[in-house]
Amino acid sequence: QSVLTQPPSVSGAPGQRVTISCTGSSSNIGANFDVHWYRQLPGTAPKALVYGNNHRPSGVPDRFSGSKSGTSASLAISGLQADDEADYYCQAYDSSLNGPVFGGGTRLTVL
Amino acid sequence: EDQLVESGGGLVQPGGSLRLSCAASGFTFSVYNMVWVRQAPGKGLEWISYISSSSSPIYYTDSVRGRFSISRDNAKNSLYLQMDRLRVNDTAVYYCARRAFGWGDYGLDVWGQGTTVTVSS
């Protein structure tokens, strides 16, 4: 069981908008720690997509956006493209574990 | 380009040991805090250990504490993970990652390509 909870899968048609939720607790997201999002293509390392709740690293298009409220966070992907198919992970710091915790990952399928 | 390259993975029997290395290049390794993250086959990401730039403090997740030891050599731009008393469920791809500056709490901005550890008899 992952400390942060994500839906196992989401899907959408090309051009559509999808959101991926990430639910934590009072020791991580609810403690006002920042949420980060990573994308992982098969057989490759994770790559940062959103950091500090709603900031994008250089090179990440503005189709990707993050938000946070209370003990939850969300990643929104608009204008879905075929190469958006990947696994997406949320991450936050957890004060009870003294380290980062991840969600279980969400597989995005572009129909 | 900022880069991390892991090495040292392989096949080991239960109860055995392995030492993973992570070579950093393209940036000033000595000022960054670093972590090890692993991913079991078909599973999600799991943080296992953290080391500050000065080697103190150090933290471990419960499942590896007392068996794994993280260290670094700033003169050699290298991070290490000594893994002892390995178990079958330690089988995973092991990634080293850099904790970013200015990314809020514990953002990881550079990841290595991973090295595979298989624990099996």
Is it the case that residue A1 has pLDDT exceeding 90? no
CB contact under 8 A, B106 and A98: no
Q: How many angstroms separate the CA atoms of B68 and A3, rounded?
A: 21
Model confidence over A11-50: pLDDT tens digits?
999 999 999 999 999 999 999 999 999 999 988 999 999 9
CB atoms within 10 A of CB A26: 12
Nearest beta carbon to residue A34 from set B45, B50, B104 = B104
Residue A103: name the closest of A48, A42, A54, A36 by CA: A36
Contact at CB, B45 and A44, closer than 8 angstroms: no
Q: pLDDT tens-digit profile of B95-111?
A: 999 999 888 788 999 99
Query: Which residues have C-beta within 8 Å of that of residue B4, sequence separation ≥ 6?
Result: B22, B23, B24, B96, B97, B98, B110, B111, B112
Which residues of chain B are within 8 Å of residue A24 when distances are taken between CB atoms? none
Q: What single-letter DSSP state applies at residue A47?
A: E
Contact list in B for residue A57 (CB cut-off 8 A) is 109
| Nearest-Cα residue of chain B relative to residue A97 | B61
- Is the pLDDT at B52 greater than 90? The verdict is yes
Residue B40, C-beta contacts closer than 8 angstroms, at least 6 positions apart: B46, B89, B91, B92
Q: Spell out the residues 6+ positions from residue A59 whose beta carbon is closer than 8 angstroms to its own.
A: none
Instruction: Say whether pLDDT at B20 is over 90.
Output: yes
